[in-house]
Amino acid sequence: MSGGQRSLEGKVGLITGSTSGIGLATAQVLAEQGCNLILHGLLPEDEGQSLAADFAAQYGIRTFFSNADLRQPESIHRFMAQGTEALGSIDILINNAGIQHTDSVADFPLEKWNDIIAINLSSAFHTIQQAVPVMAQKRWGRIINIASVHGLVASVNKAAYCAAKHGIVGLTKVVAIECAEQGITVNAICPGWVDTPLINKQIEAVANSKGLDYHEARYQLVTAKQPLPEMLDPRQIGEFALFLCSDAARGITGASLAMDGGWTAQ
Ligand code: NAP
């Protein structure tokens, strides 16, 4: 715990998919600033409760955990209601949970399409719909959608992912203009490659198809499109989200902010 004034003391943040990768790192960054947290991911209940207890003890915050499956709207509604009741509010909503599947559009399995649209896009509609009235009452709120560089540009074999991420960029803009007079900002962060478990399968696919070792495959995957020849650290996304929660960022809304090592500058 830091010794000085913590910038999010007393606030409540909800981060979907905060048991891994970007979500977990963002939870740590917010917790360091005293933010009480509604943690969420598909962990078994006992492991999730233990993660929440560890956060509470380490950062001196209040926590709540849910393993609601985001493919089911009624589970989302239940977990949002329970989390808000347990911690008293939702001031910061970070729609982060996401999955990936790569295949050509002709071969794309319907089940994967439906899951990606449900988890990467529709779940944000459901969480936003429940969080906005709570934030509007306080006339303060921060909604941050973790989109992707694939919300701005396309890559082959990512039909569902690109459709969902472009969709979340559109959703971000609409909610931003609807909520602008209520003290709520709504933005999307669009990362390039970030070092998390989500991309392992893609690295393995490059390694297998080109006969490369894991590290060379990883390097080739990153540098194929991203000028910065390294993956981002998940914590860098968390620090960016923290900035968007600050008073200095109150004029930033409806923006889709690339954090992509120059990918979309080309
Ligand atoms: P990750 O490490 O795989 O984490 C994904 C999180 O989503 C996990 O907490 C996972 O829970 C949760 N989740 C997955 N399916 C779920 C479901 N049906 N219901 C509830 N929760 C579910 O991935 P990440 O890389 O941190 O990705 C986070 C976000 O960043 C995603 O939206 C992704 O598209 C975006 N992003 C990632 C990159 C990158 O290069 N990694 C780049 C741009 C954007 P469990 O782990 O408990 O199963």
pLDDT surpassing 50 at residue 47 = yes
Q: How many CB atoms lie within 10 A of CB 40?
A: 29
pLDDT at 131: 98
Q: Which residues pair with 232 in a beta bridge?
A: 194
pLDDT at 4: 79
Q: Which of 49, 66, 117, 146 to mutate to test the pocket of ligand 1 (most atoms within 8 A of CB)?
A: 146
Active-site residue identified among 59, 161, 214, 219: 161
In the three-class reduction of DSSP (H, G, I as helix; E, B as strand; rest coil), residue 168 is classed as helix
pLDDT surpassing 80 at residue 3 = no
Does residue 98 have its Cβ closer than 6 Å to ligand 1?
yes
- Write out the H or E segment, with its range, that includes residue 27: helix 21-32
Does residue 261 have its Cβ closer than 6 Å to ligand 1?
no
pLDDT surpassing 90 at residue 1 = no
d(CA 98, CA 147): 9
Nearest CA to ligand 1 atom 32: 98
Does residue 197 have its Cβ closer than 6 Å to ligand 1?
yes
Nearest CA among 155, 180, 182, 200 for reference residue 255:
180
In the three-class reduction of DSSP (H, G, I as helix; E, B as strand; rest coil), residue 95 is classed as strand
pLDDT at 2: 46
d(CA 162, CA 217): 23
The alpha carbon of 111 is separated from its chain's Cα centroid by a whole number of angstroms, namely 22
Instruction: Report DSSP state, residue 42.
Output: S
Does residue 69 have its Cβ closer than 6 Å to ligand 1?
yes
CA count, 13 A, side-chain hemisphere, 124:
28
CA-198 nearest atom, ligand 1? 3
pLDDT surpassing 50 at residue 64 = yes
CA-191 nearest atom, ligand 1? 43
Does residue 252 have its Cβ closer than 6 Å to ligand 1?
no
Active site residue 161: yes
Reported as a single tens digit per residue, the pLDDT across 124-161 is 999 999 999 999 999 999 999 999 999 999 999 999 99
pLDDT at 247: 97
Q: What is the CA(27)–ligand 1 centre distance, in A?
A: 13
Does residue 61 have its Cβ closer than 6 Å to ligand 1?
no
Question: Sign of the C-alpha dihedral, residues 43, 45, 46, 51?
Answer: positive
Nearest CA among 32, 17, 167 for reference residue 93:
17
Reported as a single tens digit per residue, the pLDDT across 177-214 is 999 999 999 999 999 999 999 999 999 999 999 999 99
Q: What is the CA(21)–ligand 1 centre distance, in A?
A: 7
